[in-house]
Amino acid sequence: MKKALITGINGQDGSYLSEYLIKQGYQVHGILRRHSVAENQDVRIKDMDVKTYYGELTDEISLFKILRKVKPDVIYNLAAMSHVGISNELPIFTVKTNSLAVMQLLELAKEICPEAKIYQASSSEMFGNSIDKDGFQRLSTTMNPVSPYGCSKVMAYNLIRYYRNAYNKFYCNGILFNHESPRRGSNFVTNKVIKSIVMIKKNIIKKLELGNLDSMRDWGHSKDYVRAMHLIVNHKKADDFVIATGETRSVKDMVNYVFAKLSIPVKKHLSINKKYFRPEELKYLKGDCSKAKKILKWKPKNNIKSLIKIMIDAELKRLKNI
Ligand code: G4F
């Protein structure tokens, strides 16, 4: 049985990837960060057949011990300080976790499991406000990040490419555009909007407070994107790929759509709070995933409308069960 090690296994992507890899016949191992609320420690993976270890990417000793114990065939590095807004409050921690820790991981893997393939969770946030003339971002688009998070991910992206070339390793980047699901953290905009509007519908809360409504995002479903991760790692050549839907919508359109779907008037229930604005906003993302379509034969099964439906239904079900 092949062994996969997932950092960030209890995250949205880590949990979907675990399910997917188990179905593909992998033995799945994962690193769990200690959480002060014990119930939240492994909340997304608690019923899955995975082996977990307490660890922390910035704690190189824990990483060393886990790599030596598991000796993985493939490592999916999904752990990160993943909230762009919060990276402005925690810039040093963001860089330690998202960049320096990746270098530690690469150095340790080189010594302990030199044959292991590595997948790095790279991000469309790396492009910042660069857009090609045709309105897309792709591998050749200049990286011009506009947040500590974006900067930290550019470093990790380059480290993967450097180690791949310098040491002839099977290390790859998936540049994933925004991807959501019912398992998304509720401080990311899609899940915040959907949870709040469903709760307004149920008379549990009265208002939804948001920040910048003008930014545009290319939103896909996390389940589709973990499928792409596996394809990237199993392609015959180590390479980097953009994973996106190729469609973009403004936050405002997404919010209006969810309000309309639940037949609630927007004006009465939506307000803007400056505290959710970022020092510099990434205004527009639309990914060109034609390389993944052509080479990996990957394409997303969901679009923004099917994704929103899945997320609304899941939230309605969750509220019914509590
Ligand atoms: O949902 P978001 O927080 O996602 P963001 O910043 O695009 O980052 C996500 O996608 C990246 C890929 O491009 C990942 F790398 C990253 O880890 C993360 O998964 O915000 C989306 C947009 C932003 O423009 C934000 O300013 O929504 C805007 N927004 C407006 N009001 C808000 C809010 N975002 C959040 N989180 N909360 C608000 O109240």
Judged against a pLDDT cut of 90, whether residue 5 lies above it is answered with: yes
Average pLDDT over residues 306-321: 96
CA of 41 to the centre of ligand 1 (A): 24
Query: 174 in helix, strand or coil?
Result: strand
Judged against a pLDDT cut of 90, whether residue 39 lies above it is answered with: no
- Burial-class residue 217 by CB neighbours within 10 Å (0-12, 13-18, 19+): buried
Which residue out of 16, 81, 84 has the highest number of ligand 1 atoms within 8 Å of its CB and is therefore the one to mutate?
A: 84
Task: Provide, for the chain, the percentages of residues in helix, strand and coil under a 3-state DSSP scheme, each rounded to the nearest 5.
Answer: 45, 15, 40
Write out the catalytic residue numbers: 123, 125, 149
Mean pLDDT of the chain: 97
Q: What band does 266 get if pLDDT is binned at 50, 70 and 90? A: very high
Q: What band does 40 get if pLDDT is binned at 50, 70 and 90? A: confident
Whole-number Å distance between alpha carbons of 115 and 237: 14
Q: What local confidence, expressed as pLDDT, does residue 152 receive?
A: 98
Query: 72 in helix, strand or coil?
Result: coil
Ligand 1 atom at minimum distance from 211 CA? 31
Would you say the CB of residue 188 lies under 6 angstroms from ligand 1?
yes
CA of 205 to the centre of ligand 1 (A): 22
Ligand 1 atom at minimum distance from 125 CA? 13
Give Rg (Cα) of the chain. 19
CA of 84 to the centre of ligand 1 (A): 7
| pLDDT tens readout for residues 97-152 | 999 999 999 999 999 999 999 999 999 999 999 999 999 999 999 999 999 999 99
| pLDDT tens readout for residues 213-230 | 999 999 999 999 999 999
CA of 111 to the centre of ligand 1 (A): 37
Query: 255 in helix, strand or coil?
Result: helix
Question: Which residues of the chain form beta strands (DSSP E)?
Answer: 3-7, 27-32, 50-54, 74-77, 117-123, 171-176, 179-180, 208-210, 216-217, 220-221, 241-243, 249-250, 270-272
Q: Whose CA is nearest to atom 9 of ligand 1?
A: 178
